[in-house]
């Protein structure tokens, strides 16, 4: 049995966790033992995946900039547990001491995996500081610090890896999903729409952290204008994050609480997608958003900002739009009820986004 340690970003990242957990049911658990190294252990332990698999969790206590000696001691202690691979999921560079330690300790596989294409911080000063760190470490990262490098898209690869890393060695690891889980089921659709009280409405959805990157303020303002043109519209936003209360207050200020519902994070994403008629993601940047992959798996028409890589369009269901409020207003207003959607299995198979293909890529990475 191979022991794999997943290290997740310092900030809670639902997209990274979903990428990892989506693969779990399709991987032979008798061949791999997965553990997690994270600062967000409480969020991880509250997930249904933890309840199902009870994988070991190592809570990272010290942060690198608070002292190299203590940080290195902690990391070496954790990595001494006989891991065959450490899989480092990241969104930006803040150093590569963990990679350096892992290579020094002779861990057979040290994998660096890019999941983003920008810095997701609301505070401009903090964003600028992280940008400087990221740029510095990006230029200094070489393959002496890793055995393997991968990314969810070409855009994410270019964000994390400089020209010092040959493009031909970067593995693309698409954010695949279990398409069958998202097949349209009319009974589930009707049940969810009753539960939400949105029968007869055109339901628009958004899934993701309330954050600088996801740009929900823009969506709320554009939707509010669209509602004035189409009174059937209803917006559901699913997620948590540092801007959650700010967005909820904005909805109240605009007098839209009867037509916009801000839900917390949910394990029932596939069911909520059944209730929707369209999906919106006006992100400022993304690596390859798993939420839009799931929306396409559900057969939903998607409005997505043109800052997002075209690699996201697996089905022809995406319309890419510039981040101009009037354009989004018109596009949202034009959405129609869609309760008769097609299954997307063939499109996902052709794009190599099936879970079977993705698990083959992932396990071959660990086994090679």
User: Where exactly are the structural domains of the chain?
Assistant: 2-176+353-367, 179-349
User: Do the Cβ atoms of 138 and 114 come closer than 8 Å?
Assistant: no
Provide the pLDDT confidence category of residue 62 given band limits of 50, 70 and 90: low
Q: Are 25 and 180 in contact (CB under 8 A)?
A: no
Is the C-alpha dihedral spanning 328, 332, 335, 341 positive or negative?
Answer: positive
| Contact of 172 with 133, CB cutoff 8 Å | no
Backbone angles phi, psi at 14, to 5 degrees: -60, -35
Burial of 273 (0-12, 13-18, 19+ CB in 10 A): buried
CA distance 97 to 72: 8
Q: CA Rg, the chain, in Å?
A: 21
What value does the mean pLDDT take over residues 351-365? 91
pLDDT single digits (tens) 179-238: 999 999 999 999 999 999 999 999 999 999 898 889 999 999 999 999 999 999 999 999
Is 95 a residue whose pLDDT tops 80?
A: yes
Mean pLDDT for all residues in the chain: 91
CB distance 234 to 198 below 8 Å? yes
Q: Do domains 2-176+353-367 and 179-349 have the same CATH topology?
A: yes
| CA torsion, ordered 216, 17, 364, 52, to nearest 10 deg | -140
Least confident of 67-81, 225-239, 287-301, 316-330: 67-81
Which CATH number is associated with domain 2-176+353-367?
A: 3.40.50.2000
In the chain, the percentage of residues whose pLDDT exceeds 90 is 68
User: Span 24-51, mean pLDDT?
Assistant: 79
By residue count, the chain amounts to 368
Name the residue with higher pLDDT: 53 or 139.
139
8 A C-beta contact, residue 43 and residue 69:
no
Burial 302-323, CB ≥16 within 10 A → b, else e:
bbbbebbbebbbbbebbeebee
50 pLDDT exceeds 70?
Answer: no
- Among 44-58, 112-126, 320-334, the range of highest mean pLDDT: 320-334
Question: Parallel, antiparallel, or unpaired: how do β-strands 260-263 and 301-305 relate?
Answer: unpaired
Q: Which residues pair with 233 in a beta bridge?
A: 202
Dihedral angle over CA of 57, 62, 64, 68, nearest 10: -120
| Confidence label for 342 from pLDDT (cuts 50, 70 and 90) | confident
Lowest mean pLDDT among 1-5, 68-72, 95-99, 252-256: 68-72
3-state secondary structure the chain: CEEEEEECCCCCCHHHHHHHHHHHHHCCCCCEEEEEEECCHHHHHCCHHHHHHCCCEEECCCCHHHCHHHHHHHHHHHHCCCCCEEEEEECCCCCCHHHHHHHHCCCCEEEEEECCCCCCCCCHHHHHHHHHHHHHHHHHCCHHHCCEEEECCHHHHHHHCCCCCCHHHEEECCCCCCHHHHCCCHHHHHHHHHHHCCCCCEEEEEECCCCCCCCHHHHHHHHHHHHHHCCCEEEEEECCCCCHHHHHHHHHHCCCCCCEEEECCCCCHHHHHHHCCEEEECCCCCCCCHHHHHHHHCCCEEEEECCCCHHHCCCCCEEEECCCHHHHHHHHHCCCCCCCCCCCHHHHHHCCCCHHHHHHHHHHHHHC
Q: So what CATH class is 179-349?
A: alpha beta
């Amino acid at each position: 049995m191979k022991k794999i340690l997943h290290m997740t970003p310092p900030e809670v990242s639902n997209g990274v966790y979903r990428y990892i957990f989506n693969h779990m049911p399709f991987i032979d658990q008798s061949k791999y033992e997965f553990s997690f190294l994270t600062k967000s252990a409480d969020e991880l332990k509250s997930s249904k995946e933890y309840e199902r698999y009870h994988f070991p969790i190592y809570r990272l206590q010290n942060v690198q900039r608070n002292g190299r000696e203590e940080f290195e001691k902690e990391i070496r202690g954790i990595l001494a547990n006989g891991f065959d691979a450490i899989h480092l999921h990241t969104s930006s560079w803040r150093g590569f001491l963990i990679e350096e330690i892992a290579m020094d300790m002779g861990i057979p596989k040290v994998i660096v995996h890019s999941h983003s294409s920008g810095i997701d911080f609301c505070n401009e000063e903090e964003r600028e500081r992280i940008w400087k760190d990221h740029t510095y470490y990006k230029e200094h990262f070489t393959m002496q610090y890793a055995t393997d490098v991968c990314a969810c898209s070409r855009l994410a690869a270019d964000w994390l890896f400089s020209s010092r890393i040959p493009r031909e060695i970067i593995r693309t690891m698409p954010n695949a999903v279990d398409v069958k889980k998202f097949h349209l089921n009319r009974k589930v659709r009707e049940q969810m729409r009753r539960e939400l009280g949105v029968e007869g409405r055109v339901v628009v959805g958004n899934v993701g952290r309330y954050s600088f990157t996801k740009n929900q303020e823009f969506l709320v303002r554009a939707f509010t204008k669209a509602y004035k043109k189409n009174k059937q519209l209803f917006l559901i936003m699913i997620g948590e994050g540092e801007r959650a209360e700010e967005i909820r207050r904005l909805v109240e200020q605009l007098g839209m609480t009867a037509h916009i519902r801000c839900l917390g994070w949910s394990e029932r994403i596939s069911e909520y997608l059944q209730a929707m008629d369209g999906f919106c993601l006006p992100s400022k940047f993304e690596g390859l958003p798993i939420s839009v992959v799931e929306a396409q798996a559900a057969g939903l028409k998607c409005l997505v900002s043109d800052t997002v890589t075209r690699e996201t369009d697996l089905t022809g269901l995406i319309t890419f739009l510039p981040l101009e409020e009037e354009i989004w207003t018109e596009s949202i207003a034009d959405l129609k009820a869609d309760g008769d959607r097609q299954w997307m299995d063939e499109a996902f198979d052709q794009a190599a986004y099936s879970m079977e293909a993705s698990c083959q890529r992932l396990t071959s990475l660990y086994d090679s």
